[in-house]
Amino acid sequence: MSYSDQLLQGTSLTEQTMLQDFETLSIYYEDMKIPSKTIQAGPTNPLPTLVAMVDSPEEDKPWIFTHSFMPLDSETAEFTKFLQFYCEVPGSLEGIDRLTLLEGISLLNQALPLGMVILVEPRPELKLPLMAAVRAVQGFPLNEPIDQGAFTEEMILVEMGCQMAALMMDALREGRTAAEAFAQISQ
């Protein structure tokens, strides 16, 4: 019995097809000169996950992109597999007024071409502070390989969202208002 069996019950996805798609996505990442690795399903992550290390403006802090398929039931997703793009933007947001932070995120979410910026609550057990993350979910035809051009465009748009979020959070840390920070990154 696989770790993913229970989560995939009633869906059109199988662990094997997810792993095949991740193998294909790894090739796409390789073409972009981005290292990636598939993490098998296990006790702490019941579905396989693809992880990629994308260069960020801060050389010592790459963006870790994770991809997983959403285990939606066959009625909801009869013809489509939904791939999640997720990346936490490094840097603590603890010192920023919460209302200012939410206003900044709202402004970003109105401007992002794909996905959304969300707050990730602190995780003391992992020594991680309050952070921002970018999340997008994109549908692809269920019984076909994921198209390289479509995947690459999605990846570029999500990476652009990470860049915008990082710039917004840096400006808010410097004491700018959300409107000032947004105007600065919109130039």
Q: What is the pLDDT of residues 39-85, one digit of tens each?
A: 998 888 889 999 999 988 777 778 899 999 988 878 788 888 999 99
Say if residues 4 and 11 touch (Cβ distance below 8 Å): no
pLDDT of residue 33: 95
pLDDT attached to residue 42: 87
Look at residues 167, 164, 171, 57 and name the one whose alpha carbon lies nearest to residue 110. Answer: 164
Q: What is the pLDDT of residues 119-177, one digit of tens each?
A: 999 999 989 999 999 999 999 998 899 999 999 999 999 999 999 999 999 999 999 99
The tens digit of pLDDT for each residue in 92-115 reads: 999 999 999 999 999 999 999 889
Domains, the chain, with CATH or none: 5-185 (3.30.1460.10)
Alpha carbon distances (Å) from 9 to 2, 3, 5: 11, 11, 6
Residue 3's pLDDT is what? 60
Give residue 6's pLDDT band: very low, low, confident or very high (50, 70, 90). confident
Give the residue among 56, 44, 41, 54 at the shortest CA–CA distance from 3. 41
pLDDT recorded at residue 2: 65
pTM: 0.90
Ramachandran region of residue 186, left (φ > 0), alpha (ψ -120 to 50) or beta? alpha
pLDDT of 4: 64
